[in-house]
Chains A and B, each alone.
Chain A
Amino acid sequence: MANTIRKDRIAQLVSRLTDYDVYGPVEEDGVFLYRRVTGPPPPGFTNSRVPPKSIFFPQTETMMEFEKDGTGHRFVGAREPERAARKILLLGGRPCDVRAATFLDRLFTWDYIDPYYVDKRERATVISFTCTGPMPNEQCFCPSMDGSPSGTEGADMLWTDLGDSYYVEALTPKGEAILSAGGDAFGKAGKKDAGAAKEVKAAADERITRRFDREGVAAALECLFDDPYWDTVSEPCLGCGICTLLCPTCHCFDINDVVRKGEGRRERTWDTCQAAYYSLHASGHNPRPGKKHRQRNRLYHKFLYIDRNLGIVGCVGCGRCIANCPVNIDIIEVAEGTKTCAEARREGAGADAKGAA
């Protein structure tokens, strides 16, 4: 049994959700970002530049605080910072980013339970919005990654824009809780609403034109590790961290102690495998010394290692890395290119073998 909510009742809904810290997309100087909000998402919001993973996994997060003892030589009194206890509501996630959170759930509970991430994730309710308006756009390819512009994986509710109102589907008990907290802010959906929502979803599917044929990419990567292919694809790469920092599934972080006078904080901050210092050893040795090694690592991690370790692919098809790459490196082209390259190498090897015989 679905519901609806009129757009002009959303602020009222938020005001009733007194137990929640509500986050949603806002436009700041032309850039969509997730911030604390009190009302509905702005009309026509696109994918945010920084994905909403930052709500569960902030770019910089304090893990521990401590101070110097009387001798001035030792740090003592290590303690975790006070954790917030309030519930979190993500009001307006795009289905690809929300699906990416299920990826991070697997990752952060795989061999070690990451308490910082898990704590926030458990407190969170996620409302996905079916892609409408400017979304999906020419950079989107979620269906090729098993997603959908109206996908529900990871979402507690799915809202679909019907013009003056949203068609509201509660998918989990957490979603039901929003319905009951909202009370009469929500209305009952009729057959007509259900039909309209179905049409909006179908229209969103149709607008996605980019395709990524990833069948065979993992197999190709298996035999291309030392291939000159990586020299060619990484030639224009700058070695900046845009593709990874803006990726909804990238999750690497670096831990540092920030010490000022008598006190300190242990902070973790997003890291990027595209930076030279990422893999730099204390000895001075760097196993990934060049940009080709780093570009290669990005592809191997997303399409081979994670698949081996967790049985998932490290890409949800949001297209951020493609749209924001300063030098126009396109992950689809690079990944699909590995197949052509591997095939050419196999043929070459076959010809060599024949020649030798």
Chain B
Amino acid sequence: MPDASAKEAQVRDIARRWLASGEVRYVIGYAAGRGNVARAAFVRRAGDADRLIWNPTCVNNLTLFLREEMLRKLAKGEKPDPRPIGIVVKPCDSKTVVELVKEHIVDPARVRVIGLTCEGVCDPKKLVGTEVGPHAVTADTIADKCTVCRLHNPLMADEVVGDEVPETVEDDYSDVAEIEAMSPEERWAYWERQLSRCVRCYGCREVCPLCYCAECVFDREKPYRWNERTVQLPENLWYHAVRAMHLAGRCIDCGECERVCPMDIPIRKLNRYLEKKAKERYGVEAGRSAEDAPTFGSCDVDDPEEFIW
């Protein structure tokens, strides 16, 4: 595996260069955090580029902040700044950029991408109780999403950091086989147990780069409410089912929803199952190419419709 610190130095160099020339407004990257997760850093001056880090704690997907900026309303008196925003991405995160470009949320001219090659990062939950420091990615510490990841080289990168990594793993969706093998009753029991724990903090929604509705249906009060505020199984189930459906064929499996869940609900299982279904039924693969039609914005007369009666 290429040396993480060499890649870190390269990330800093690129950010420093971009900021010094003024070609980007700021760079969104990783900085050292407390504990086992890197922090998002918003670097505005070339002199601060050394705050940026790259190591296996850089598990988070920073494209959320890119999307937030793209959809932000200008403050009173604020003049629009046409310069692009720099962002550090892993290959999985770069799929989000593709998806956001595809859905016309991000204008490719307004983003400059530092793309890192990657062979996996650590799951912070698997590092709890271990000594904090630069962790190694091992079979015990690797994030679940990385074990089924096929993409090790970033897409749409303006600058690539790291040597090309051969794409190795063929995705067989074996991680959802367990759910698929369950009878409807077993599935109900499984999800009942998992979703009963949900406290509806909406962390999964807030962290999702692709959950960007101006007003989420679950916050909607007028003309009527679609879901009660009460935190009980029916509402929890409805919330998670609707969110999963709205991500079918769009979710790129960055795994942020599952990472942030304070109740350890296996949200990725829902998303991965729908990813598989979208691929099987409609040939849709999220984050493959910005040239693809957006999943929810296209249809085909040959689309299977067996669930519409």
Residue ranges of A at the interface with B (Cβ–Cβ < 8 Å): 28-31, 33, 49-50, 59-60, 134, 137, 235-236, 238-242, 245-246, 254, 256, 258, 267, 269-270, 272, 275-277, 322-324, 326-328, 330, 333
Shortest Cβ gap from A295 to chain B (Å): 13
In the complex the two chains form, is B34's CB within 8 Å of A330's CB? Answer: yes
Sample of 30 A–B contacts (CB below 8 Å)? A59-B199, A60-B232, A235-B42, A236-B40, A238-B203, A240-B201, A240-B205, A240-B206, A241-B203, A242-B201, A242-B262, A245-B262, A246-B199, A246-B201, A254-B229, A256-B229, A258-B228, A267-B228, A267-B229, A269-B230, A275-B219, A326-B60, A326-B203, A326-B207, A326-B256, A326-B259, A326-B260, A328-B38, A330-B34, A333-B34
Shortest Cβ gap from B208 to chain A (Å): 10
Q: Given A30-B264, A328-B33, are A276 and B201 also a contact pair (CB < 8 Å)?
A: no
In the complex the two chains form, is B202's CB within 8 Å of A275's CB? Answer: yes
Q: Is B37 engaged at the interface, CB distance under 8 Å to the other chain?
A: yes
In the complex the two chains form, is B40's CB within 8 Å of A324's CB? Answer: no
In the complex the two chains form, is B197's CB within 8 Å of A28's CB? Answer: yes
Question: How many angstroms from the CA of A123 to the CA of B261 in the assembled complex?
Answer: 33
Contact of B221 among A31, A33, A245, A277 (CB under 8 A): A277
Shortest Cβ gap from A289 to chain B (Å): 10
Instruction: List chain B residues, Cβ under 8 A from A254.
Output: 229
Chain A-chain B contacts (Cβ-Cβ < 8 Å), number: 96
Question: How many angstroms from the CA of A326 to the CA of B38 in the assembled complex?
Answer: 10
Instruction: List chain A residues, Cβ under 8 A from B193.
Output: 28-29
Instruction: List chain B residues, Cβ under 8 A from A258.
Output: 228, 230
In the complex the two chains form, is B231's CB within 8 Å of A60's CB? Answer: yes
In the complex the two chains form, is B260's CB within 8 Å of A240's CB? Answer: yes
Instruction: List chain B residues, Cβ under 8 A from A326.
Output: 60, 203, 207, 256, 259-260
Residue of A nearest to B220 (CB): A277
In the complex the two chains form, is A242's CB within 8 Å of B230's CB? Answer: no
Question: How many angstroms from the CA of A278 to the CA of B38 in the assembled complex?
Answer: 29
Residue ranges of B at the interface with A (Cβ–Cβ < 8 Å): 33-35, 37-40, 42, 60, 64-65, 129, 193-194, 197, 199-203, 205-207, 219, 221, 228-232, 256, 259-260, 262-264
Shortest Cβ gap from B273 to chain A (Å): 18
Contact of A31 among B201, B206, B260, B264 (CB under 8 A): B264
Q: Given A236-B40, A242-B201, are A59 and B34 also a contact pair (CB < 8 Å)?
A: no
In the complex the two chains form, is A327's CB within 8 Å of B39's CB? Answer: yes
Shortest Cβ gap from A183 to chain B (Å): 36
In the complex the two chains form, is A328's CB within 8 Å of B39's CB? Answer: yes
Shortest Cβ gap from B199 to chain A (Å): 5
Shortest Cβ gap from B53 to chain A (Å): 13
The 4 closest A-B pairs by CB, nearest first: A326-B260, A240-B203, A238-B206, A241-B201
In the complex the two chains form, is A272's CB within 8 Å of B201's CB? Answer: yes
Shortest Cβ gap from A316 to chain B (Å): 18
In the complex the two chains form, is B129's CB within 8 Å of A134's CB? Answer: yes
In the complex the two chains form, is A49's CB within 8 Å of B231's CB? Answer: no
Instruction: List chain B residues, Cβ under 8 A from A324.
Output: 262
Contact of B40 among A50, A277, A327 (CB under 8 A): A327
Shortest Cβ gap from A168 to chain B (Å): 29
* 11 more CB-based (< 8 A) A-B contacts, given A269-B231, A323-B35: A28-B197, A59-B231, A238-B207, A241-B199, A242-B262, A246-B262, A258-B228, A277-B221, A324-B262, A326-B60, A330-B34
Question: How many angstroms from the CA of A271 to the CA of B33 in the assembled complex?
Answer: 28
Instruction: List chain B residues, Cβ under 8 A from A236.
Output: 39-40, 42, 65
Residue of B nearest to A246 (CB): B262
Instruction: List chain B residues, Cβ under 8 A from A327.
Output: 39-40, 60
In the complex the two chains form, is B228's CB within 8 Å of A256's CB? Answer: yes
Instruction: List chain B residues, Cβ under 8 A from A270.
Output: 199, 231
Question: How many angstroms from the CA of A241 to the CA of B262 in the assembled complex?
Answer: 10
Question: How many angstroms from the CA of A245 to the CA of B202 in the assembled complex?
Answer: 11
In the complex the two chains form, is A256's CB within 8 Å of B230's CB? Answer: yes
Q: Given A235-B42, A258-B230, A326-B207, are A245 and B263 also a contact pair (CB < 8 Å)?
A: no
Question: How many angstroms from the CA of A79 to the CA of B22 in the assembled complex?
Answer: 66
Residue of B nearest to A243 (CB): B201
Instruction: List chain A residues, Cβ under 8 A from B203.
Output: 238, 240-242, 326
Instruction: List chain B residues, Cβ under 8 A from A31.
Output: 197, 263-264
Contact of B34 among A28, A242, A269, A322 (CB under 8 A): A322
In the complex the two chains form, is B129's CB within 8 Å of A239's CB? Answer: no
Shortest Cβ gap from A328 to chain B (Å): 4
Shortest Cβ gap from A241 to chain B (Å): 4
Question: How many angstroms from the CA of A277 to the CA of B193 in the assembled complex?
Answer: 29
Residue of B nearest to A258 (CB): B228
Instruction: List chain A residues, Cβ under 8 A from B35.
Output: 323, 328
Instruction: List chain A residues, Cβ under 8 A from B205.
Output: 240
Question: How many angstroms from the CA of A328 to the CA of B207 in the assembled complex?
Answer: 13
Question: How many angstroms from the CA of A28 to the CA of B34 in the assembled complex?
Answer: 27
In the complex the two chains form, is B219's CB within 8 Å of A276's CB? Answer: yes
Question: How many angstroms from the CA of A238 to the CA of B264 in the assembled complex?
Answer: 18
Instruction: List chain A residues, Cβ under 8 A from B37.
Output: 328
Residue of A nearest to B228 (CB): A258
Q: Given A28-B197, A326-B207, are A241 and B264 also a contact pair (CB < 8 Å)?
A: no
Instruction: List chain B residues, Cβ under 8 A from A276.
Output: 219
Instruction: List chain B residues, Cβ under 8 A from A33.
Output: 197
Shortest Cβ gap from A253 to chain B (Å): 10
